[in-house]
């Protein structure tokens, strides 16, 4: 009983990375705009928000797939 893993092609990996990059870029711009709306936004919230963006990929992969992986297949 041999199981063979099928990995996505390079093209699918690149497409997935581009989608994830766009998602992260939109999230970063939205957060920056949100932070600019308030004068005294707490520092720990700013740091926590940016750290959550850095952890997007590892957290999503641990639950199955990132949005890019899910959309590309």
For 53-69, the three-class secondary structure string (H helix, E strand, C coil) is HHCHHHHHHHCCCCHHH
Lookup: tokens for 25: 């870029």
Say if 26 falls within a structural domain.
yes
Say if 63 falls within a structural domain.
yes
So what's the pLDDT on residue 21? 94
pTM exceeds 0.85 = no
31-52 b/e with 16+ CB inside 10 Å = b?
beeeeeeeeeeeeeeeeebeee
Each residue of 9-66: pLDDT tens digit?
899 999 999 999 999 999 999 998 988 888 888 888 889 988 988 899 999 999 988 9
Say if 40 falls within a structural domain.
yes
So what's the pLDDT on residue 20? 93
So what's the pLDDT on residue 46? 86
So what's the pLDDT on residue 50? 87
Report the domain count for the chain.
Answer: 1
Say if 23 falls within a structural domain.
yes
Rounded Cα–Cα distance for residues 21 and 60 (Å): 14
58 is in which domain, residue-wise?
10-72
Say if 48 falls within a structural domain.
yes
Say if 1 falls within a structural domain.
no
Lookup: tokens for 65: 């797939």
């Amino acid at each position: 009983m041999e199981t063979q893993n099928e990995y996505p092609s390079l093209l699918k990996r690149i497409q997935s990375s581009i989608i994830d990059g766009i998602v992260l870029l939109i999230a970063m711009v939205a957060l920056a705009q949100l932070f600019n709306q308030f004068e005294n936004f707490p520092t720990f919230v700013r740091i926590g928000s940016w750290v959550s963006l850095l952890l997007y990929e590892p957290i999503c992969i641990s639950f199955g797939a990132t949005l890019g992986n899910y959309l590309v297949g």
